Each structure stands twice: as structure tokens, then as C-alpha cells.
Amino acid sequence: MTPDVVVDVGNTRIKWGLVSGGRITEVVAFDHDDPVGWKRCCELWGLTASARWALAGVVPRVMYRFEAWLTAHGMSARAVTNDLFNGDVFDDNVPFEFVTAVEEPEQIGIDRLLTAFAAWRRAPLGASAIALNVGTAMTIDFVESSGMHRGGAILPGPRLMARSLHEYTAKLPLVEIDPELPVTIWGENTETAIELGIANAILGVADQMVWDWASRRETPPAVFATGGDAGYFRGFVFTADVSKFEIDPTLTLDGIRLAAEALP
């Protein structure tokens, strides 16, 4: 299947990506319930009932609602699910090239698999891939050069960190998140101290885990960052040697495109 539109239903927003020439050419984000915005975007992009949609996401109730909206407007979507990465949608003689090795593959977030898959497809030949996705949660996923997804790590994203500090303390304020590489060593007031702490938490865990993975590989890995708050990594230099580092806000959407193209 070659999709015209790919849709990522995330914890906070729904993202659409318009596909043309084998790449994502336009991206727009909506609230979970925005049928007026959805209709306007369809008109703006010139989408008709013949448009081919590929859909993936981590919020089932929102996915069902969106699929119902598509159906009501004479359109339908092909869902990309975890089954693809378990080999369940293929005949035994046609294995999928990317497979996850986590203990409960049906439980892992499809967004993690799709982001890791896209990162692996972009890695230089012979290099493993590391995918960093900084959103509501931050996920880090590792893929061998062979296409074996090993697993990764999950931690709160920067906005969730900021909110928890505010809600679970008596006096700490809720700070606005401005994802930029920090340039100071310490915060001179409470707000900047929180901002600096969150930034270094995000960067520090990524740098340590990239180091741990790279130190066990002969070829430096390729690292890819995405998500609404991936700006922390703009200008960042990893301690470990990496073969490539790229920030791409369309990485997960491109993973949906690539996965949809692999569907039988």
C-alpha cells in the first residue's frame, strides 16, 4: 500500500502527514477531537474518497473516533499495528525485515516501533540505529544493523516533568518548556533551575544510553531525534562516536509511511 496521508494518534495530539514522492511533504497537528479542523485540512489538501490513509496510534478510543469520522465522510484507513513487527500479517515464507525482540511485543507502543523502524531505514549500511522521541514521554529505542529491535527506555517528557514538579510540591512554579540546548551551568532563580534540570535530565539520559550502546558496537550507531521537544538536541554533541545524527520532526510519520508500504 502506498499511502497519500499518514496519521499518528499520539497521547496529546493527532498528526497528519501528506505523502508525495515517497516522503512527507506537509505536516499538521490537531487536538484529539477537531472534526472541523480535519474537514478543512482535507479540503486544503484536496483529499477525496479515493485518498489512501494509513493510521497508527497509542490512544485506541481516539483512533476509533477518527476512523468513524473517516467512514462518515466516505473514506477509510489501513491501520498499522504491532502485528506487522511480529510477522503475523505475513505468510511464513515472507518475513518482515524489522522485528522486535521485546518480551511482550503486543504491549509495546506502536509509535516506538515505527520511530525505530524509520531510524533503522535511514541508518548508514552496517550501522545500528538509536531513535529518540521527546514528547509527552521520552522514549529511546535501539535497533541492531540487522533490523532487530532490542528494546529501550521510557521516561517522562519535559512537560510532564515540569507539571509533576509543580503539582507534587508546595511552592515550585509550573514553568514553560522551551526546548533549547542549555548554555548555562546553573540556574540563577527557581524557574531557570527547573528548566536547566529538565534539559539536562533529557540530554543526560540520552547521552549515557547512547554511550552504553555504542561502547558495545564495532560500528558507531546512527542517532535520530524526533518529537515536539526534540529541540533540546539541536547543537548537542554526544560523548560517544556516532556515525550520523539527525533531528527530524517527521520521523514517526515516515515510519508509518514505510510500514504501510510494506503491508501485503
Residues 201 and 131 in one domain: yes
Average confidence (pLDDT) over 53-68: 94
Q: Is residue 84 part of a domain?
A: no
Read off the amino acid at residue 191. Answer: E
Q: Which domain holds residue 216?
A: 99-248
Residues 106 and 57 in one domain: no
- 71 by Cβ neighbours in 10 Å (0-12 / 13-18 / 19+) ranks as exposed
Q: What is the pLDDT of residue 94?
A: 45
Residues 68 and 148 in one domain: no
Answer yes or no: are the C-beta atoms of 151 and 141 closer than 8 Å. yes
Q: What is the pLDDT of residue 87?
A: 58
Statement: residue 76 has pLDDT above 90: no
CATH number at residue 40: 3.30.420.40
For the segment 194-252, what is each residue's pLDDT rounded down to a tens digit? 999 999 999 999 999 999 999 999 999 999 999 999 999 999 999 999 999 999 999 99
Residues 140 and 212 in one domain: yes
Sheet with 148-156: strands ordered across? 99-100, 148-156, 137-143, 129-134, 222-226, 244-247
Residues 41 and 154 in one domain: no
Q: Which residue has the cell 561502547?
A: 215
Statement: residue 93 has pLDDT above 90: no
Residues 41 and 156 in one domain: no
The total of other beta-carbon atoms located within 10 Å of residue 238's CB is 19
% of the chain residues with pLDDT over 90: 89
Q: What is the pLDDT of residue 256?
A: 97
C-alpha cell of 33? Answer: 477531537
CA–CA gap between residue 237 and residue 195 (Å, rounded)? 20
Average confidence (pLDDT) over 34-61: 95
Exposure class string for 25-60: b at 16+ Cβ within 10 A, else e: eeebebeeebeeebeebbeebebeeebbbbbbbbee
Average confidence (pLDDT) over 77-104: 76
Average confidence (pLDDT) over 125-148: 96
Q: What is the pLDDT of residue 92?
A: 52
Q: What is the pLDDT of residue 262?
A: 85
Count of structural domains within the chain: 2
Residues 133 and 198 in one domain: yes
Answer yes or no: are the C-beta atoms of 235 and 142 closer than 8 Å. no
CA–CA gap between residue 178 and residue 229 (Å, rounded)? 8
Q: Is residue 131 part of a domain?
A: yes
Active site residues: 111
Residues 17 and 107 in one domain: no
C-alpha cell of 176? Answer: 514553560
